[in-house]
């Protein structure tokens, strides 16, 4: 278990990523509804995409960060969340995605990006 505050926060982000990934893998319908998506009737493709691409990525990146517990792995986790936040900003600016849900998820992604990056750069 991490002993430094910064590493504890980065560890928490990794654990949260595992929780997100498991939720997407085990309950893809719930995850799709929370994100505001509804798959077309009779189509199972969105469930597979949610389980594999999204759930697997979040679960795998969080698990790798916890198992390896090295600053550069936490750095990669922070960069991934930062780029996800950047993609959300692009969506808000260019896709007309100015919704409360998008702004809330943007703040969450920025926090999830900041904590491991702050640990890596020695800010916390």
The answer to whether 37 and 105 have CB atoms below 8 angstroms apart is no
Answer whether residue 45 shows pLDDT above 90: no
> What is the pLDDT confidence band of residue 83, given thresholds at 50, 70 and 90?
very high
Residue pLDDT, tens place only, 100-116: 999 999 999 999 999 99
What's the pLDDT score for residue 78?
97
Answer whether residue 96 shows pLDDT above 90: no
DSSP track, 22-83: HHHHH-HHHHHHHTT--PPTT--HHHHHIIIIIIIHHHHHHHHHHHH--HHHHHHHHHHHHH
pTM of the entire structure? 0.91
Averaged pLDDT, 26-49: 85
Answer whether residue 6 shows pLDDT above 90: yes
Averaged pLDDT, 26-55: 86
Answer whether residue 35 shows pLDDT above 90: no
């Amino acid at each position: 278990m991490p002993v430094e505050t910064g590493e504890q926060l980065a560890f928490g982000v990794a654990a949260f990523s595992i929780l997100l990934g498991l939720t997407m893998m085990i309950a893809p319908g719930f995850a799709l509804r929370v994100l505001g998506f509804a798959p077309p009737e009779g189509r199972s493709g969105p469930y597979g995409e949610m389980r594999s691409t999204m759930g697997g990525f979040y679960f795998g990146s969080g698990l790798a960060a916890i198992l390896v517990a090295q600053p550069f792995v936490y750095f990669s986790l922070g960069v991934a969340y930062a780029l996800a936040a950047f993609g959300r900003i692009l969506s808000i600016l260019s896709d007309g995605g100015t919704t409360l849900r998008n702004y809330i998820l943007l703040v969450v992604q920025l926090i999830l990006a900041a904590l491991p990056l702050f640990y890596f750069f020695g800010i916390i």
